Structure 1
Protein backbone atom coordinates (compact mmCIF):
# COMPACT_ATOMS: atom_id res chain seq x y z
CA UNK A 1 0.00 0.00 0.00
CA UNK A 2 1.31 3.44 -0.87
CA UNK A 3 -0.14 6.49 0.77
CA UNK A 4 0.61 9.88 -0.78
CA UNK A 5 -0.17 13.15 0.95
CA UNK A 6 -0.23 16.30 -1.16
CA UNK A 7 0.00 19.41 0.98
CA UNK A 8 0.04 23.12 0.17
CA UNK A 9 1.92 25.48 2.45
CA UNK A 10 -0.35 27.77 4.41
CA UNK A 11 0.02 31.45 3.78
CA UNK A 12 -0.31 33.58 6.91
CA UNK A 13 -1.16 37.25 6.48
CA UNK A 14 -0.07 37.94 10.06
CA UNK A 15 2.03 35.61 12.08
CA UNK A 16 0.84 37.29 15.26
CA UNK A 17 1.36 40.30 17.48
CA UNK A 18 2.83 39.75 20.91
CA UNK A 19 2.00 42.37 23.49
CA UNK A 20 3.85 42.47 26.79
CA UNK A 21 2.42 44.49 29.63
CA UNK A 22 2.22 44.60 33.34
CA UNK A 23 -1.10 42.86 33.27
CA UNK A 24 0.25 39.77 31.52
CA UNK A 25 0.70 38.44 28.01
CA UNK A 26 -1.83 38.48 25.20
CA UNK A 27 -1.50 37.01 21.72
CA UNK A 28 -3.56 37.95 18.72
CA UNK A 29 -3.38 36.32 15.30
CA UNK A 30 -5.25 36.50 12.04
CA UNK A 31 -6.85 33.28 10.82
CA UNK A 32 -4.82 31.23 8.36
CA UNK A 33 -5.80 30.69 4.76
CA UNK A 34 -7.53 27.36 4.09
CA UNK A 35 -5.31 24.35 3.61
CA UNK A 36 -6.21 21.62 1.13
CA UNK A 37 -4.84 18.14 1.76
CA UNK A 38 -5.45 15.27 -0.66
CA UNK A 39 -4.90 11.69 0.49
CA UNK A 40 -4.65 8.87 -2.00
CA UNK A 41 -3.79 5.21 -1.65
CA UNK A 42 -3.26 2.29 -3.97
CA UNK A 43 -4.06 -1.20 -2.74
CA UNK A 44 -2.48 -4.11 -4.58
CA UNK A 45 -4.27 -7.42 -4.04
CA UNK A 46 -2.23 -10.46 -3.06
CA UNK A 47 -1.52 -12.68 -6.02
CA UNK A 48 -0.86 -16.38 -6.41
CA UNK A 49 -1.05 -18.87 -9.26
CA UNK A 50 -2.85 -22.09 -8.37
CA UNK A 51 -2.48 -25.12 -10.65
CA UNK A 52 -5.10 -27.87 -10.41
CA UNK A 53 -5.30 -31.05 -12.51
CA UNK A 54 -7.94 -30.96 -15.23
CA UNK A 55 -9.19 -34.46 -14.42
CA UNK A 56 -8.82 -37.12 -11.72
CA UNK A 57 -9.21 -40.87 -12.26
CA UNK A 58 -10.07 -43.37 -9.56
CA UNK A 59 -8.25 -46.22 -11.26
CA UNK A 60 -4.61 -46.43 -12.29
CA UNK A 61 -5.35 -46.93 -15.99
CA UNK A 62 -8.73 -45.21 -16.24
CA UNK A 63 -10.60 -48.50 -16.44
CA UNK A 64 -14.20 -48.95 -15.28
CA UNK A 65 -15.20 -49.56 -11.68
CA UNK A 66 -17.65 -52.03 -10.24
CA UNK A 67 -20.21 -50.38 -7.98
CA UNK A 68 -19.78 -53.30 -5.59
CA UNK A 69 -16.32 -51.90 -4.77
CA UNK A 70 -17.82 -48.64 -3.49
CA UNK A 71 -18.47 -49.84 0.04
CA UNK A 72 -17.82 -47.78 3.15
CA UNK A 73 -15.82 -44.68 2.20
CA UNK A 74 -15.62 -45.91 -1.40
CA UNK A 75 -12.59 -45.75 -3.69
CA UNK A 76 -9.81 -43.23 -3.07
CA UNK A 77 -8.15 -41.50 -6.02
CA UNK A 78 -4.53 -42.60 -6.35
CA UNK A 79 -2.22 -39.71 -5.46
CA UNK A 80 -5.09 -37.49 -4.39
CA UNK A 81 -5.73 -34.08 -5.91
CA UNK A 82 -2.71 -31.78 -5.94
CA UNK A 83 -3.09 -28.01 -5.84
CA UNK A 84 0.27 -26.38 -6.62
CA UNK A 85 1.02 -22.73 -5.76
CA UNK A 86 3.53 -20.47 -7.50
CA UNK A 87 4.28 -16.76 -8.09
CA UNK A 88 2.72 -15.91 -4.74
CA UNK A 89 3.34 -12.39 -3.44
CA UNK A 90 1.69 -9.90 -1.15
CA UNK A 91 2.39 -6.22 -1.70
CA UNK A 92 -0.29 -4.76 0.54
CA UNK A 93 -1.79 -6.93 3.28
CA UNK A 94 1.10 -8.67 4.98
CA UNK A 95 -1.21 -10.57 7.32
CA UNK A 96 -3.73 -11.69 4.67
CA UNK A 97 -4.77 -15.27 5.44
CA UNK A 98 -5.37 -17.46 2.37
CA UNK A 99 -8.38 -19.70 1.95
CA UNK A 100 -9.66 -21.81 -0.91
CA UNK A 101 -13.34 -21.59 -1.79
CA UNK A 102 -14.55 -24.89 -3.28
CA UNK A 103 -17.80 -24.88 -5.26
CA UNK A 104 -19.77 -27.37 -7.33
CA UNK A 105 -23.09 -29.18 -7.39
CA UNK A 106 -23.48 -31.24 -4.22
CA UNK A 107 -25.99 -33.90 -3.16
CA UNK A 108 -26.75 -36.00 -0.11
CA UNK A 109 -26.46 -39.74 -0.55
CA UNK A 110 -28.56 -41.28 2.20
CA UNK A 111 -26.91 -39.47 5.11
CA UNK A 112 -26.04 -35.99 6.33
CA UNK A 113 -22.83 -35.54 4.33
CA UNK A 114 -22.68 -33.69 1.02
CA UNK A 115 -20.90 -35.10 -2.04
CA UNK A 116 -19.88 -33.43 -5.28
CA UNK A 117 -21.78 -34.77 -8.28
CA UNK A 118 -22.92 -33.24 -11.58
CA UNK A 119 -26.51 -33.69 -12.66
CA UNK A 120 -26.85 -36.82 -14.85
CA UNK A 121 -26.82 -36.26 -18.62
CA UNK A 122 -26.99 -38.51 -21.67
CA UNK A 123 -23.19 -38.50 -21.84
CA UNK A 124 -22.69 -38.96 -18.08
CA UNK A 125 -25.82 -40.80 -16.85
CA UNK A 126 -24.45 -42.28 -13.58
CA UNK A 127 -26.62 -41.34 -10.60
CA UNK A 128 -26.42 -42.13 -6.89
CA UNK A 129 -22.66 -41.56 -6.70
CA UNK A 130 -20.57 -38.68 -5.36
CA UNK A 131 -17.07 -37.47 -4.54
CA UNK A 132 -16.02 -36.48 -1.04
CA UNK A 133 -13.03 -34.13 -0.71
CA UNK A 134 -11.07 -33.87 2.53
CA UNK A 135 -7.84 -32.40 3.94
CA UNK A 136 -5.63 -34.16 6.45
CA UNK A 137 -2.08 -33.64 7.69
CA UNK A 138 -1.21 -30.71 5.44
CA UNK A 139 1.41 -28.25 6.77
CA UNK A 140 -0.33 -24.98 5.84
CA UNK A 141 -4.04 -25.86 5.85
CA UNK A 142 -6.46 -27.02 8.53
CA UNK A 143 -7.79 -30.57 8.58
CA UNK A 144 -11.28 -30.97 7.17
CA UNK A 145 -12.98 -34.36 6.97
CA UNK A 146 -15.50 -33.16 4.38
CA UNK A 147 -15.04 -29.87 2.55
CA UNK A 148 -18.61 -29.72 1.22
CA UNK A 149 -20.92 -28.34 3.91
CA UNK A 150 -23.64 -26.77 1.76
CA UNK A 151 -25.85 -28.34 -0.87
CA UNK A 152 -27.28 -27.32 -4.21
CA UNK A 153 -25.99 -26.24 -7.59
CA UNK A 154 -23.43 -23.94 -5.95
CA UNK A 155 -22.71 -26.10 -2.94
CA UNK A 156 -19.33 -26.72 -1.41
CA UNK A 157 -17.23 -25.27 1.36
CA UNK A 158 -13.94 -23.64 2.31
CA UNK A 159 -10.41 -24.93 2.89
CA UNK A 160 -8.92 -22.69 5.58
CA UNK A 161 -5.26 -22.01 6.18
CA UNK A 162 -3.67 -22.63 9.56
CA UNK A 163 -2.90 -19.72 11.86
CA UNK A 164 0.31 -18.05 10.73
CA UNK A 165 0.00 -19.12 7.11
CA UNK A 166 0.26 -16.21 4.67
CA UNK A 167 -0.01 -15.76 0.92
CA UNK A 168 3.76 -15.72 0.48
CA UNK A 169 4.16 -18.88 2.55
CA UNK A 170 2.16 -20.77 -0.11
CA UNK A 171 4.77 -20.07 -2.78
CA UNK A 172 6.31 -23.28 -4.10
CA UNK A 173 4.11 -25.55 -1.97
CA UNK A 174 1.54 -28.23 -2.82
CA UNK A 175 -1.78 -28.92 -1.08
CA UNK A 176 -2.90 -32.53 -1.42
CA UNK A 177 -6.61 -33.30 -1.12
CA UNK A 178 -8.06 -36.74 -0.58
CA UNK A 179 -10.80 -37.59 -3.11
CA UNK A 180 -13.16 -40.52 -2.47
CA UNK A 181 -15.82 -41.81 -4.86
CA UNK A 182 -18.69 -43.52 -3.08
CA UNK A 183 -22.42 -44.11 -2.83
CA UNK A 184 -22.59 -42.41 0.55
CA UNK A 185 -24.78 -44.30 3.00
CA UNK A 186 -26.36 -46.47 0.31
CA UNK A 187 -25.08 -50.04 0.38
CA UNK A 188 -25.37 -51.53 -2.12
CA UNK A 189 -25.23 -48.53 -4.47
CA UNK A 190 -28.37 -49.75 -6.21
CA UNK A 191 -30.35 -48.76 -3.08
CA UNK A 192 -29.93 -45.10 -4.06
CA UNK A 193 -33.10 -43.54 -5.52
CA UNK A 194 -32.94 -43.22 -9.30
CA UNK A 195 -29.70 -45.23 -9.26
CA UNK A 196 -28.15 -45.54 -12.70
CA UNK A 197 -24.91 -46.97 -14.03
CA UNK A 198 -22.68 -45.32 -16.61
CA UNK A 199 -20.04 -42.62 -16.74
CA UNK A 200 -19.90 -40.36 -13.70
CA UNK A 201 -18.80 -36.72 -13.57
CA UNK A 202 -18.30 -34.17 -10.82
CA UNK A 203 -17.12 -30.65 -11.67
CA UNK A 204 -15.43 -28.70 -8.89
CA UNK A 205 -14.05 -25.14 -8.90
CA UNK A 206 -11.22 -24.00 -6.61
CA UNK A 207 -10.88 -20.27 -6.00
CA UNK A 208 -8.05 -18.76 -3.97
CA UNK A 209 -9.23 -15.92 -1.71
CA UNK A 210 -8.00 -14.01 1.32
CA UNK A 211 -9.33 -13.05 4.74
Structure 2
Protein backbone atom coordinates (compact mmCIF):
# COMPACT_ATOMS: atom_id res chain seq x y z
CA UNK A 1 0.00 0.00 0.00
CA UNK A 2 1.20 3.52 -0.66
CA UNK A 3 1.42 5.06 2.80
CA UNK A 4 -1.03 7.99 3.17
CA UNK A 5 -1.26 8.26 -0.59
CA UNK A 6 2.19 9.79 -0.89
CA UNK A 7 3.54 7.59 -3.68
CA UNK A 8 0.54 8.12 -5.93
CA UNK A 9 0.50 11.84 -5.24
CA UNK A 10 4.29 12.24 -5.53
CA UNK A 11 4.17 12.92 -9.27
CA UNK A 12 2.51 16.24 -8.46
CA UNK A 13 5.60 17.25 -6.52
CA UNK A 14 8.39 16.24 -8.90
CA UNK A 15 8.48 19.42 -11.03
CA UNK A 16 10.11 22.67 -9.96
CA UNK A 17 7.06 24.74 -10.94
CA UNK A 18 4.61 22.79 -8.75
CA UNK A 19 4.06 25.41 -6.04
CA UNK A 20 3.39 28.14 -8.59
CA UNK A 21 1.03 25.83 -10.45
CA UNK A 22 -0.95 24.98 -7.34
CA UNK A 23 -1.51 28.64 -6.55
CA UNK A 24 -2.42 29.49 -10.13
CA UNK A 25 -4.68 26.49 -10.55
CA UNK A 26 -6.56 27.11 -7.33
CA UNK A 27 -7.08 30.76 -8.28
CA UNK A 28 -8.28 29.71 -11.73
CA UNK A 29 -10.77 27.30 -10.22
CA UNK A 30 -12.33 30.10 -8.22
CA UNK A 31 -12.37 32.54 -11.12
CA UNK A 32 -13.92 30.01 -13.47
CA UNK A 33 -16.84 29.49 -11.15
CA UNK A 34 -17.63 33.19 -10.87
CA UNK A 35 -18.09 33.61 -14.65
CA UNK A 36 -20.52 30.74 -15.28
CA UNK A 37 -23.33 31.91 -17.64
CA UNK A 38 -26.89 31.97 -16.28
CA UNK A 39 -29.08 29.01 -17.33
CA UNK A 40 -32.58 29.93 -18.48
CA UNK A 41 -35.71 28.51 -16.83
CA UNK A 42 -36.52 26.69 -20.10
CA UNK A 43 -33.18 24.90 -19.98
CA UNK A 44 -33.70 24.01 -16.31
CA UNK A 45 -37.15 22.52 -16.92
CA UNK A 46 -36.02 20.52 -19.96
CA UNK A 47 -35.84 16.76 -19.22
CA UNK A 48 -32.30 15.50 -18.74
CA UNK A 49 -31.06 12.03 -19.65
CA UNK A 50 -28.03 10.33 -18.14
CA UNK A 51 -25.59 9.19 -20.81
CA UNK A 52 -23.44 6.08 -20.61
CA UNK A 53 -20.92 7.58 -23.02
CA UNK A 54 -19.47 11.04 -22.36
CA UNK A 55 -16.17 12.85 -22.75
CA UNK A 56 -15.19 15.96 -20.82
CA UNK A 57 -12.18 17.89 -19.59
CA UNK A 58 -11.68 19.90 -16.45
CA UNK A 59 -9.59 20.55 -13.36
CA UNK A 60 -9.46 18.89 -9.97
CA UNK A 61 -8.11 20.18 -6.67
CA UNK A 62 -7.73 17.92 -3.62
CA UNK A 63 -7.09 19.22 -0.10
CA UNK A 64 -6.13 16.89 2.73
CA UNK A 65 -4.20 16.78 6.01
CA UNK A 66 -0.65 15.47 6.26
CA UNK A 67 1.17 15.56 9.61
CA UNK A 68 -1.34 18.15 10.86
CA UNK A 69 -0.66 20.43 7.91
CA UNK A 70 -3.01 21.24 5.06
CA UNK A 71 -1.82 19.99 1.66
CA UNK A 72 -3.26 20.71 -1.79
CA UNK A 73 -2.72 19.01 -5.12
CA UNK A 74 -4.18 20.14 -8.45
CA UNK A 75 -4.24 18.80 -11.99
CA UNK A 76 -6.06 18.94 -15.26
CA UNK A 77 -8.01 15.86 -16.25
CA UNK A 78 -9.71 14.27 -19.22
CA UNK A 79 -12.61 11.91 -18.54
CA UNK A 80 -13.71 9.41 -21.21
CA UNK A 81 -16.64 7.26 -20.13
CA UNK A 82 -18.34 4.42 -22.02
CA UNK A 83 -20.79 1.71 -21.04
CA UNK A 84 -18.12 -0.69 -19.77
CA UNK A 85 -14.93 1.36 -19.91
CA UNK A 86 -13.54 4.44 -18.19
CA UNK A 87 -10.33 6.28 -18.98
CA UNK A 88 -9.02 9.14 -16.80
CA UNK A 89 -5.93 11.11 -17.78
CA UNK A 90 -4.23 13.54 -15.38
CA UNK A 91 -2.05 16.29 -16.83
CA UNK A 92 0.53 18.84 -15.73
CA UNK A 93 0.13 22.62 -16.29
CA UNK A 94 2.05 22.22 -19.56
CA UNK A 95 -0.39 19.59 -20.79
CA UNK A 96 1.90 16.61 -20.26
CA UNK A 97 0.21 13.38 -19.18
CA UNK A 98 1.44 12.43 -15.72
CA UNK A 99 -0.87 9.51 -14.93
CA UNK A 100 -3.65 7.46 -16.50
CA UNK A 101 -6.28 5.31 -14.81
CA UNK A 102 -8.29 2.79 -16.82
CA UNK A 103 -11.27 0.59 -15.98
CA UNK A 104 -12.33 -2.19 -18.36
CA UNK A 105 -14.27 -5.44 -17.89
CA UNK A 106 -10.86 -7.06 -17.32
CA UNK A 107 -10.01 -4.80 -14.34
CA UNK A 108 -8.39 -1.47 -13.50
CA UNK A 109 -4.88 -0.19 -14.22
CA UNK A 110 -2.89 2.83 -13.00
CA UNK A 111 0.08 3.91 -15.12
CA UNK A 112 2.73 6.55 -14.39
CA UNK A 113 5.91 7.40 -16.22
CA UNK A 114 8.93 5.33 -15.19
CA UNK A 115 6.87 3.18 -12.82
CA UNK A 116 5.43 -0.30 -13.07
CA UNK A 117 1.67 -0.34 -13.78
CA UNK A 118 -0.59 -1.12 -10.84
CA UNK A 119 -3.70 -3.24 -11.27
CA UNK A 120 -6.78 -4.24 -9.26
CA UNK A 121 -10.19 -5.80 -9.81
CA UNK A 122 -11.92 -2.41 -10.10
CA UNK A 123 -10.99 1.24 -10.20
CA UNK A 124 -12.02 2.13 -6.65
CA UNK A 125 -10.20 -0.92 -5.26
CA UNK A 126 -7.13 0.19 -7.22
CA UNK A 127 -7.25 3.62 -5.61
CA UNK A 128 -7.90 2.14 -2.17
CA UNK A 129 -4.91 -0.20 -2.52
CA UNK A 130 -2.75 2.68 -3.75
CA UNK A 131 -3.95 5.48 -1.47
CA UNK A 132 -5.37 3.76 1.56
CA UNK A 133 -8.60 5.61 0.68
CA UNK A 134 -10.55 6.08 -2.54
CA UNK A 135 -11.94 8.89 -4.65
CA UNK A 136 -15.56 7.96 -5.54
CA UNK A 137 -14.92 7.36 -9.24
CA UNK A 138 -17.98 5.17 -9.79
CA UNK A 139 -20.21 7.83 -8.24
CA UNK A 140 -18.62 10.50 -10.39
CA UNK A 141 -19.80 8.68 -13.51
CA UNK A 142 -23.24 10.05 -12.61
CA UNK A 143 -22.43 13.09 -10.49
CA UNK A 144 -20.41 14.75 -13.27
CA UNK A 145 -23.59 14.70 -15.37
CA UNK A 146 -25.78 15.92 -12.51
CA UNK A 147 -27.36 12.59 -11.58
CA UNK A 148 -27.42 10.31 -8.54
CA UNK A 149 -28.53 6.74 -7.79
CA UNK A 150 -31.42 5.93 -5.47
CA UNK A 151 -31.41 2.99 -3.03
CA UNK A 152 -33.37 0.94 -5.59
CA UNK A 153 -30.64 1.48 -8.18
CA UNK A 154 -32.62 3.98 -10.26
CA UNK A 155 -30.66 6.88 -11.75
CA UNK A 156 -32.32 10.23 -11.00
CA UNK A 157 -31.51 13.80 -12.02
CA UNK A 158 -30.19 16.20 -9.38
CA UNK A 159 -32.14 19.50 -9.29
CA UNK A 160 -30.46 22.21 -11.37
CA UNK A 161 -29.95 24.40 -8.33
CA UNK A 162 -26.77 26.18 -7.27
CA UNK A 163 -25.30 24.86 -4.01
CA UNK A 164 -27.65 21.86 -4.00
CA UNK A 165 -26.38 19.33 -1.44
CA UNK A 166 -26.71 15.59 -1.02
CA UNK A 167 -24.91 12.74 0.75
CA UNK A 168 -23.82 9.66 -1.19
CA UNK A 169 -21.20 6.93 -0.74
CA UNK A 170 -20.04 8.54 2.49
CA UNK A 171 -19.37 11.89 0.80
CA UNK A 172 -21.05 15.26 1.27
CA UNK A 173 -21.61 16.70 -2.21
CA UNK A 174 -22.43 20.24 -3.21
CA UNK A 175 -23.37 21.06 -6.80
CA UNK A 176 -22.06 24.62 -6.63
CA UNK A 177 -22.92 25.79 -10.15
CA UNK A 178 -24.28 24.58 -13.47
CA UNK A 179 -23.69 25.27 -17.16
CA UNK A 180 -25.07 24.41 -20.59
CA UNK A 181 -23.08 22.99 -23.51
CA UNK A 182 -24.71 22.24 -26.87
CA UNK A 183 -28.13 21.96 -25.23
CA UNK A 184 -26.90 19.74 -22.38
CA UNK A 185 -27.25 21.12 -18.84
CA UNK A 186 -24.66 19.71 -16.45
CA UNK A 187 -22.67 20.77 -13.37
CA UNK A 188 -19.93 23.36 -13.76
CA UNK A 189 -18.44 22.83 -10.31
CA UNK A 190 -18.89 20.06 -7.75
CA UNK A 191 -17.40 20.05 -4.24
CA UNK A 192 -16.98 16.81 -2.28
CA UNK A 193 -15.98 16.40 1.36
CA UNK A 194 -15.48 13.57 3.84
CA UNK A 195 -13.34 12.66 6.84
CA UNK A 196 -10.77 9.85 6.59
CA UNK A 197 -8.52 8.44 9.29
CA UNK A 198 -5.56 8.47 6.91
CA UNK A 199 -5.77 12.03 5.57
CA UNK A 200 -8.17 13.83 7.88
CA UNK A 201 -10.73 16.07 6.18
CA UNK A 202 -10.52 15.45 2.43
CA UNK A 203 -12.00 18.13 0.16
CA UNK A 204 -12.26 17.71 -3.60
CA UNK A 205 -13.18 20.49 -6.00
CA UNK A 206 -14.01 19.61 -9.59
CA UNK A 207 -14.54 22.16 -12.35
CA UNK A 208 -15.73 21.01 -15.79
CA UNK A 209 -14.27 23.14 -18.58
CA UNK A 210 -15.47 21.40 -21.74
CA UNK A 211 -18.18 18.89 -22.54
CA UNK A 212 -17.32 17.06 -25.77
Same fold (TM over 0.5): no
- Using the size of structure 2 for normalisation, the TM-score is 0.25
- Using the size of structure 1 for normalisation, the TM-score is 0.25
Higher helix share: 2
Higher strand share: 2
Please tell me whether Structure 1 or Structure 2 has the larger radius of gyration of its CA atoms: 1
